[in-house]
């Protein structure tokens, strides 16, 4: 027997057996802490803000610090600068309960907290390696203001041997005695769109350090989770740092593999969804991440696969599979427009898109986020503009972010407004609202009836029966009239 529980803006189904544990853990988290720690989270981006709110939710006193005064002012006013379901409620709750604070005062934050989480960005540089300037800037601040024993935790995704580098910098560059600090790697495994659930109900927590006392303290920080069945993996710094990269690279491989299978399905008349089901039922493979589409994007997979290749090269190791995945993913992003051109060629014997108006539905790299980093929609829009088409864009959350990249395309307040008078539609993100579009109505407002469903969220039979010329990824044979 199971039931639905709503908390912090999200709903989860839990078993009757776990209901009391769930309610006690979420509604009264401080009651089961072995100790309340004073924790600083440096950086209030996606990882930092979710981490800070999550640690406060389980009963710790958390100060989130950032150099961006505007962002801190927004957070103090209850405005969340990123779109993540449930995060606003979680922040509001813990601010009201005096467990979550926001500041720009890095000196006070370092001196008045015992555990310092580094959660700043490590964006991809031009050569593919992680840009570490923000991490090392934080280390410099810690060295400047350290006033007693601190545990320094890298929550940011950092290259292997970063922990050792931080330790060496503090000891040799800033002459900080090793007895008053410890370095810990504690990578995040948050999925955008479900990050709150991922933090509060982790499948595993990885803690890496060469300091046994620091590992024990970090175990205590996360005691709530281990008491409720989450596995804590303890190891050394290098192993912990590599786990994060290896996990994301493994998922990227799985996604790209199925995308290539889906492309083959389109050529031979097979159904990629059924292929995914057939192989996913093998427990050695599993059904997760067997979903074809226009390629992966976001803040993790693109930069982490590139960084892993770069790290391996520094140590004389070739990562040929990951290199192939990177190439395959870039190619996959071109598939939706290639399919669109083929549909125009089928109808008009020409794939010329000059002067055509194309509605792109979905700009974020996935649903339930406003993150457009490395989104397939960027490639789709670039290709359409290069081909001479105009673009009508709509996304429930990501339009303001996309305006920074494409200020001159047209943005609309609804999917139907974007579709009106369009010659074709590309569905590029799997938002729930796109799954229930009224295609009988859409047919009355479009200029032409051409649709590429790059996320396979619409039953092709519905489109064909409504006399749309359509295509999907991995189910093209269903789009034949």
**Residues with catalytic function:** 300
User: What is the spatial distance between Cα 8 and Cα 198, in angstroms, rounded to a whole number?
Assistant: 13
**Which residues lie across from 143 on neighbouring strands?**
none
DSSP string, 334-366: THHHHHHHHHHHHHHS----TT-EEEEE--SSS
Q: Where are the beta strands (DSSP E) in 299-456?
A: 357-361, 390-394, 410-411, 424-427, 450-453
User: What is the spatial distance between Cα 139 and Cα 191, in angstroms, rounded to a whole number?
Assistant: 27
CA torsion sign, 86 to 88 to 92 to 95? positive
User: What is the spatial distance between Cα 136 and Cα 45, in angstroms, rounded to a whole number?
Assistant: 17
b/e map 78-97, b = 16+ CB within 10 Å:
eebbbbbbbbbbbbebbbee
Interhelix angle 237-268/320-332, nearest 10 degrees: 50
Residues 6+ positions from 298 with CB-CB distance below 8 Å: 192, 365, 366, 369, 371, 373, 374, 375
Could you tell me which of 119, 126, 178 has the C-alpha nearest to residue 154? 119
Strands 469-472 and 450-453: parallel
User: What is the spatial distance between Cα 471 and Cα 464, in angstroms, rounded to a whole number?
Assistant: 10
């Amino acid at each position: 027997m199971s039931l639905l529980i709503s908390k912090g803006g999200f709903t989860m189904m839990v078993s009757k057996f776990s209901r009391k544990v769930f309610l006690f853990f979420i509604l009264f988290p401080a009651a089961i802490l072995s100790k309340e720690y004073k924790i600083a989270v440096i950086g209030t981006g996606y990882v930092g803000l979710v981490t800070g709110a999550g640690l406060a939710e389980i009963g710790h006193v958390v100060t989130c610090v950032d150099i961006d005064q505007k962002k801190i002012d927004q957070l103090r006013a209850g405005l969340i600068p990123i779109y993540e379901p449930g995060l606003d409620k979680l922040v509001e709750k813990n601010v009201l309960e005096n467990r979550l604070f926001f500041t720009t005062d890095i000196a006070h934050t370092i001196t008045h907290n015992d555990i310092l989480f580094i959660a700043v960005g490590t964006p991809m540089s031009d050569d593919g390696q992680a840009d570490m300037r923000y991490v090392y800037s934080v280390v410099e601040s810690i060295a400047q203001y350290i006033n007693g024993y601190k545990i320094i935790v890298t929550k940011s995704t950092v290259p292997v041997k970063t922990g050792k580098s931080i330790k060496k910098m503090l000891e040799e560059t800033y002459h900080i005695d090793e007895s008053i600090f410890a370095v810990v790697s504690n990578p995040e495994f948050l999925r955008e769109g479900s990050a709150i659930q991922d933090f509060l109900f982790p499948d595993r927590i990885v803690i890496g350090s060469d300091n046994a006392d620091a590992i024990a303290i970090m175990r205590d920080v996360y005691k709530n989770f281990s008491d409720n069945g989450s596995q804590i993996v303890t190891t050394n710094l290098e192993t912990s740092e590599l786990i994060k990269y290896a996990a994301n690279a493994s998922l990227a491989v799985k996604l790209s593999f199925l995308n290539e299978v889906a492309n083959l399905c389109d050529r031979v008349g097979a159904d990629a969804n059924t292929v995914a089901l057939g192989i996913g039922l093998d427990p050695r493979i599993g059904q997760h991440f067997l979903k074809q589409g226009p390629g992966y994007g976001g803040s993790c997979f693109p930069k982490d696969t590139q960084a892993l290749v770069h790290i391996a090269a520094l140590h004389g190791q070739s990562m040929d599979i990951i290199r192939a995945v990177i190439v395959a993913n870039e190619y996959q992003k071109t598939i939706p427009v290639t399919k669109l051109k083929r549909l125009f060629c089928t109808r008009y014997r020409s794939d010329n898109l000059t002067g055509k108006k194309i509605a792109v539905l979905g700009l974020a790299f996935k649903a339930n986020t406003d993150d457009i980093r490395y989104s397939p929609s960027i490639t789709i829009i670039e290709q359409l503009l290069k081909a001479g088409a105009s673009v009508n864009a709509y996304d429930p959350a990501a339009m303001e972010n996309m305006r920074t990249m494409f200020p001159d395309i047209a943005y609309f307040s609804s999917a139907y407004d974007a579709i009106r008078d369009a010659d074709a539609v590309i569905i590029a993100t799997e938002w729930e609202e796109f799954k229930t579009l009224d295609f009988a109505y859409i047919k009355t407002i479009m200029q032409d009836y051409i649709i590429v469903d790059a996320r396979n969220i619409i039953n092709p039979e519905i489109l064909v029966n409504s006399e749309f010329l359509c295509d999907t990824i991995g189910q093209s044979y269903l789009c034949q009239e």
